[in-house]
Protein backbone atom coordinates (compact mmCIF):
# COMPACT_ATOMS: atom_id res chain seq x y z
CA UNK A 1 0.00 0.00 0.00
CA UNK A 2 1.26 3.46 -0.83
CA UNK A 3 1.37 6.11 1.93
CA UNK A 4 -0.57 8.58 -0.18
CA UNK A 5 -3.85 6.70 0.31
CA UNK A 6 -4.62 8.35 3.67
CA UNK A 7 -3.58 11.75 2.28
CA UNK A 8 -5.99 11.34 -0.62
CA UNK A 9 -8.81 10.36 1.77
CA UNK A 10 -8.05 13.48 3.81
CA UNK A 11 -8.32 15.56 0.65
CA UNK A 12 -11.85 14.28 0.08
CA UNK A 13 -12.92 15.41 3.56
CA UNK A 14 -11.33 18.84 3.06
CA UNK A 15 -13.20 19.15 -0.24
CA UNK A 16 -16.47 18.40 1.54
CA UNK A 17 -15.79 21.19 4.06
CA UNK A 18 -14.94 23.56 1.21
CA UNK A 19 -18.35 22.84 -0.34
CA UNK A 20 -20.09 23.68 2.94
CA UNK A 21 -17.98 26.84 3.20
CA UNK A 22 -19.19 27.91 -0.27
CA UNK A 23 -22.80 27.70 0.85
CA UNK A 24 -22.12 29.57 4.09
CA UNK A 25 -20.17 32.24 2.22
CA UNK A 26 -23.11 32.86 -0.14
CA UNK A 27 -25.54 33.00 2.80
CA UNK A 28 -23.27 35.32 4.76
CA UNK A 29 -22.90 37.72 1.84
CA UNK A 30 -26.63 37.67 1.09
CA UNK A 31 -27.72 38.21 4.72
CA UNK A 32 -24.83 40.55 5.62
CA UNK A 33 -24.34 38.50 8.76
CA UNK A 34 -21.46 36.32 9.95
CA UNK A 35 -22.37 33.01 11.52
CA UNK A 36 -19.64 33.11 14.16
CA UNK A 37 -20.26 29.55 15.35
CA UNK A 38 -19.76 28.28 11.81
CA UNK A 39 -16.57 30.34 11.52
CA UNK A 40 -15.35 28.69 14.73
CA UNK A 41 -16.04 25.33 13.09
CA UNK A 42 -14.19 26.32 9.91
CA UNK A 43 -11.19 27.66 11.80
CA UNK A 44 -11.00 24.59 14.03
CA UNK A 45 -11.31 22.26 11.03
CA UNK A 46 -8.73 24.12 8.97
CA UNK A 47 -6.24 24.43 11.83
CA UNK A 48 -6.65 20.98 13.30
CA UNK A 49 -7.57 18.73 10.40
CA UNK A 50 -6.38 20.43 7.20
CA UNK A 51 -3.23 21.98 8.63
CA UNK A 52 -2.04 20.12 11.71
CA UNK A 53 -3.19 16.65 10.71
CA UNK A 54 -3.04 16.69 6.91
CA UNK A 55 -0.31 19.22 6.16
CA UNK A 56 1.55 17.96 9.22
CA UNK A 57 1.86 14.50 7.70
CA UNK A 58 2.88 15.96 4.36
CA UNK A 59 5.54 18.23 5.85
CA UNK A 60 6.77 16.14 8.79
CA UNK A 61 6.73 12.76 7.08
CA UNK A 62 6.54 12.86 3.26
CA UNK A 63 8.49 16.07 2.63
CA UNK A 64 11.05 15.19 5.30
CA UNK A 65 11.71 11.86 3.59
CA UNK A 66 11.74 13.44 0.13
CA UNK A 67 14.48 15.83 1.24
CA UNK A 68 16.72 12.76 1.64
CA UNK A 69 16.21 11.85 -2.04
CA UNK A 70 17.78 13.26 -5.19
CA UNK A 71 14.62 14.99 -6.41
CA UNK A 72 14.13 16.33 -9.90
CA UNK A 73 14.12 20.12 -10.03
CA UNK A 74 10.41 19.99 -10.90
CA UNK A 75 9.49 17.89 -7.86
CA UNK A 76 11.69 19.99 -5.60
CA UNK A 77 10.00 23.17 -6.83
CA UNK A 78 6.50 21.74 -6.39
CA UNK A 79 7.36 20.70 -2.83
CA UNK A 80 8.62 24.22 -2.04
CA UNK A 81 5.45 25.69 -3.58
CA UNK A 82 3.27 23.36 -1.52
CA UNK A 83 5.03 24.39 1.69
CA UNK A 84 4.45 28.06 0.82
CA UNK A 85 0.80 27.29 0.10
CA UNK A 86 0.44 25.54 3.47
CA UNK A 87 1.84 28.63 5.19
CA UNK A 88 -0.49 30.87 3.21
CA UNK A 89 -3.45 28.66 4.22
CA UNK A 90 -2.47 29.03 7.90
CA UNK A 91 -2.26 32.79 7.58
CA UNK A 92 -5.60 33.02 5.79
CA UNK A 93 -7.27 30.83 8.42
CA UNK A 94 -5.80 33.04 11.14
CA UNK A 95 -7.15 36.12 9.33
CA UNK A 96 -10.61 34.51 9.28
CA UNK A 97 -10.43 33.76 13.01
CA UNK A 98 -9.28 37.30 13.78
CA UNK A 99 -12.06 38.78 11.63
CA UNK A 100 -14.63 36.75 13.57
CA UNK A 101 -13.32 38.16 16.86
CA UNK A 102 -13.51 41.71 15.50
CA UNK A 103 -17.02 41.09 14.17
CA UNK A 104 -18.19 39.95 17.62
CA UNK A 105 -16.74 43.18 19.05
CA UNK A 106 -18.89 45.20 16.66
CA UNK A 107 -16.49 45.84 13.78
CA UNK A 108 -18.83 45.48 10.78
CA UNK A 109 -15.94 45.77 8.31
CA UNK A 110 -14.76 42.46 9.73
CA UNK A 111 -17.65 40.79 7.86
CA UNK A 112 -15.93 41.70 4.58
CA UNK A 113 -12.57 40.41 5.84
CA UNK A 114 -14.15 37.14 6.97
CA UNK A 115 -16.01 36.73 3.68
CA UNK A 116 -12.86 37.48 1.71
CA UNK A 117 -10.89 34.96 3.78
CA UNK A 118 -13.52 32.28 3.21
CA UNK A 119 -13.67 33.11 -0.50
CA UNK A 120 -9.94 32.77 -1.02
CA UNK A 121 -9.84 29.50 0.95
CA UNK A 122 -12.73 28.15 -1.14
CA UNK A 123 -10.91 29.13 -4.33
CA UNK A 124 -7.48 28.01 -3.15
CA UNK A 125 -8.01 24.53 -1.74
CA UNK A 126 -9.40 22.79 -4.86
CA UNK A 127 -6.38 23.98 -6.88
CA UNK A 128 -3.96 23.04 -4.10
CA UNK A 129 -5.48 19.59 -3.76
CA UNK A 130 -5.42 19.04 -7.52
CA UNK A 131 -1.73 19.96 -7.61
CA UNK A 132 -0.97 17.40 -4.91
CA UNK A 133 -3.27 14.69 -6.26
CA UNK A 134 -2.40 14.92 -9.94
CA UNK A 135 1.08 16.39 -10.12
CA UNK A 136 2.96 15.46 -6.97
CA UNK A 137 1.87 12.54 -4.79
CA UNK A 138 1.94 9.78 -7.40
CA UNK A 139 5.14 10.83 -9.18
CA UNK A 140 7.17 11.25 -5.98
CA UNK A 141 6.29 7.75 -4.78
CA UNK A 142 8.79 6.51 -7.39
CA UNK A 143 11.59 7.79 -5.14
CA UNK A 144 10.71 5.25 -2.42
CA UNK A 145 11.05 1.53 -1.97
CA UNK A 146 8.04 -0.42 -0.73
CA UNK A 147 9.67 -0.68 2.69
CA UNK A 148 10.08 3.10 2.86
CA UNK A 149 6.44 3.59 1.81
CA UNK A 150 5.29 1.17 4.50
CA UNK A 151 7.40 2.95 7.13
CA UNK A 152 5.89 6.33 6.17
CA UNK A 153 2.41 4.82 6.31
CA UNK A 154 3.05 3.54 9.85
CA UNK A 155 4.49 6.90 10.84
CA UNK A 156 1.32 8.54 9.52
CA UNK A 157 -0.86 6.24 11.60
CA UNK A 158 1.19 7.07 14.70
CA UNK A 159 0.91 10.78 13.87
CA UNK A 160 -2.89 10.43 13.78
CA UNK A 161 -2.99 8.52 17.07
CA UNK A 162 -1.17 11.34 18.88
CA UNK A 163 -3.16 14.16 17.28
CA UNK A 164 -6.32 13.96 19.38
CA UNK A 165 -4.28 13.99 22.57
CA UNK A 166 -2.32 17.05 21.44
CA UNK A 167 -5.51 18.89 20.49
CA UNK A 168 -7.22 18.36 23.79
CA UNK A 169 -4.12 18.92 25.87
CA UNK A 170 -3.95 22.31 24.21
CA UNK A 171 -7.67 22.86 24.97
CA UNK A 172 -7.15 22.11 28.66
CA UNK A 173 -4.12 24.40 28.80
CA UNK A 174 -6.20 27.21 27.28
CA UNK A 175 -9.03 26.87 29.79
CA UNK A 176 -6.59 26.52 32.70
CA UNK A 177 -5.18 29.94 31.78
CA UNK A 178 -8.63 31.40 32.32
CA UNK A 179 -8.79 30.25 35.95
CATH number at residue 106: 1.20.120.520
The answer to whether residue 178 sits within a structural domain is no
- Judge contact between 75 and 154, C-beta under 8 A: no
pLDDT of residue 100: 98
pLDDT of residue 3: 64
The answer to whether residue 109 sits within a structural domain is yes
pLDDT of residue 1: 43
Radius of gyration of the chain (CA): 18
The answer to whether residue 12 sits within a structural domain is yes
pLDDT of residue 110: 97
pLDDT along the chain (179 residues), means of 10: 74 95 95 96 95 95 97 97 97 98 96 97 97 94 95 93 84 84
The answer to whether residue 179 sits within a structural domain is no
The answer to whether residue 177 sits within a structural domain is no
Amino acid sequence: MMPIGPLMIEHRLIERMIEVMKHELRRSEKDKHLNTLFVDTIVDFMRTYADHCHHGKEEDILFKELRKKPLSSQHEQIMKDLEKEHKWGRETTDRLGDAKKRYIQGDREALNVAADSMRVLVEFYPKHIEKEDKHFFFPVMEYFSQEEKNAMLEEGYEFDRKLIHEKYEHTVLQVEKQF
